[in-house]
Chains A and B, each alone.
Chain A
Amino acid sequence: MNAWGAVAGGFVGTVVLTSALRAASELGLTRMDLPFLLGTAFSTDRTRAKALGYLLHFVFGQGFAFVYYGVFIAIGHSGWALGAAFGLLHGIFASTALVSVLLPIAHPRMGTSESSAADRPLLEPPGFMMLNYGARTPLATLLSHIAYGAIVGGFVSLAS
């Protein structure tokens, strides 16, 4: 188990997660667009927001990979199955607390039940489990995060 495994796993896992969510969008399973959501916190220019969003998403992907790595060290065990279990928890956290609760608080352009678009444009809030973006959004989110976790766990394990 070493940090390079987390770096590689975080990168590959984020590529897979991003691609899976994009594919889910193309297949009509969800309207969620994480890079768009993240990037519009910093820019109102759509192109710039998406580019920034992708960058942030990869930074977060690396960050979470190191969180996984820390837990793997703490419990003295790693592997793709354990990583997948972490991914499931991560997916639940991302689609409930992180995006549904924390993002609307931190995002200056995210609509909430208290906000009004009278003065400036607002993004559609994600709602519980991001269901506002489509009924199958939780499924797409959870499966893609499980894949991410399995890849991080697998790479950390391989780098042992």
Chain B
Amino acid sequence: MRSAGYAPLRDYAAIGDGRTVALIAGDCSIDWLCLPNLDSASVFAAVLDAERGGSFQLAPDCPFTTERRYLPETNVLETTFITGEGVVRVIDAMLLPGVGLAPSRELARRVEGVAGRVPIRWRVEPRFAYGSRRPHIGLRGETPVATCGQDALALSAWGAGDPTLDERSISGCFVAPEGQAALIVLSAAHQEPLVFPSRTEVESRVGATLAFWRDWAASRTYEGPWREAVIRSALVLKLLIHAPSGAIAAAASASLPEQIGGERNWDYRFCWVRDSAFMLDAMMQLGCPREAEAFFWWLLHASQLTHPRLRVLYRLDGGERAPETALGLSGYRDSRPVRVGNGAAEQQQLDIYGDLMQTAWLYASASRGFERETGRRLAEIADLVCEIWRQPDCGIWEVRSEPLHFTHSKMMCWVALDRAVRMAEAGWLPRGNAARWATEAIAIRDFIDSRCWSDELSSYARSAGGRDLDASLLLGALMGYGDDGDSRMASTIDAVREGLGSGPLLYRYSGEDGLSGGEGAFLCCSFFLVDALARAGRLDEASDAMRELVGLANDVGLYAEEVDRSTGAFLGNTPQGLVHLSLINAAVSLSKGQRA
């Protein structure tokens, strides 16, 4: 199934431990792993450069077909190889630390013989620092290790053949007989000596990891339609949450292309303020108050240094710097440049103020307010919105063309001030400037109605005075813009669906964005449409679209950012948090609509 060494992006499943995520192709090759954290440099990046990126391959040494699934309600992947020689099952897990001295990061691959005697071949090719640094490969006693500066890997194998070392790799082969299990464990160390685990403790941690995921999934409270897809999405989000801080990465990967061979390749291993309201809403709907609270306080903590201004995105540790650089990798199927870091961090995007205030509103509504200092900070942010909403910006989609007066950005500024007024009325924000916030909210609404409406489109336009459409306008409906019976919002939903839709799928926008090439249909926008239809009471249309969209997930229930409408191929970074967040929120809206 590989083409020139690259697996289809649809093939990738994800496993993780709350610190980092590994992407595993359908042929069981681990083609993406950053250590020690998700936003660190990669040690395996074959998905971005099949020759130089590095990978951990493990597969039968004979022709095979595969079946995959996550073990029920876990983030532990099971791949079953069916061969002419027999059947073998591989369990892949990033292990969670438990009792005992464990490696700081640990990836276990358990190979179980199911039937016959299957020859297995495995090969670890570590390439540190995004493939730019070759490792020193050697032995510590009988354990193969690969070291490079601050980082080191150890390869412990039991029943998996004698490891063979060369300058570039550690490899081995063995036969997996029915009823026996081999175990290969990759342990990582960063700025510390390696820990070589014992088999007993690894097996114990595999069991504990399975139990953790099952307990976590069982604690989710959602009982509505599409529960399986919702719980899988929740598990994906849990993978993307950086456990030490509570921040959520937008996706597990970097620079996977939005168009094969194109330049739209971005690093998503950061936390976007844009995602915050969806995140908090989804977490609370699913009964994850701890994750919601951790995220809210992380957001306030991260934004403290730039207060009252917000950055578009923050690093997972809360840092604000994310300098964008191009790597020397060839890119997924020659899609260059391969970027790490994200230049959008420097942009002005006005919509994020609405996202933050909506997040605060949701949090305060659930927890009956917050401390006075938080209220004071939010009031200062509302004051800032009053001053800056008239400025053009780069918009939610982070266009690299000239800033515009994007309609969605103005809508979100209205959301920011509307929520500020509501929170002030509830006594959660100081009331001193509430009258000004209300006045400016009316002014924003007037601006949108007079400058952003297009009679020609029968819709709000992408930007003031423009004639283009934008799926982000649906977010206005999701955030309550036009809840007062505004027929223009209902008309906009139809216009966006008509102008940007293709079946259940939506493209992001029409018009310029400062980049060459095109892109696929945006899956999060497609779920936004389902959500908007459900909130508008058009439940049958919403259900039909939802059914089709759920069917577009890959074999293990994951979504990348985009899908190619004609081929069904995934495009962009994967798995993408916003797609899974919007799936959850769409399902919840449908569930509420059906109950009403």
Contact = CB atoms under 8 A, between A and B. Distances in A.
Residue from A26, A116, A126 with most neighbouring chain B CB atoms (10 Å): A116
Give the interface SS of chain A, mostly helix, strand, loop or mixed: loop
A40 interface: yes
Contacts of A26: 150, 191
Interface residues of B, number: 32
B149 A33 contact: no
A123 interface: yes
Contacts of A121: 100-103, 195-198, 201
B189 A117 contact: no
Interface residues of A, number: 32
A44 B101 contact: yes
A118 B203 CA distance: 12
A133 B152 CA distance: 9
A36 interface: yes
A77 interface: no
Contacts of A133: 193
B196 A31 contact: no
Interface in A91-115: 109, 111-113, 115
Given A25-B150, A33-B193, A126-B193, A111 B198 contact: no
Interface string A39-66: 0100010100100000000000000000
Given A25-B150, A121-B100, A124-B145, A111 B140 contact: yes
Nearest to B139: A113
Contacts of A116: 141-142
B150 A117 contact: no
B43 to A, nearest CB: 15
B198 A118 contact: yes
Interface in B557-573: none
Contacts of A115: 141
Nearest to A125: B140
A32 B193 contact: yes
Contacts of B194: 123-124
A153 B151 CA distance: 35
A109 B101 contact: yes
Contact of B198 (A37, A40, A119, A126): A119
Interface in B146-177: 147, 149-152, 154, 156
Interface string B179-208: 000000000011111111111110000000
Interface string A8-43: 000000000000000001101001110011001000
Contacts of B154: 124
A132 B138 CA distance: 10
A43 to B, nearest CB: 8
B130 to A, nearest CB: 15
A54 B497 CA distance: 62
B149 to A, nearest CB: 4
Interface of A: 25-26, 28, 31-33, 36-37, 40, 44, 46, 49, 109, 111-113, 115-127, 132-134
14 contacts: A31-B147, A46-B102, A49-B101, A115-B141, A116-B142, A117-B196, A121-B100, A121-B195, A121-B198, A122-B198, A124-B189, A124-B194, A132-B140, A134-B150
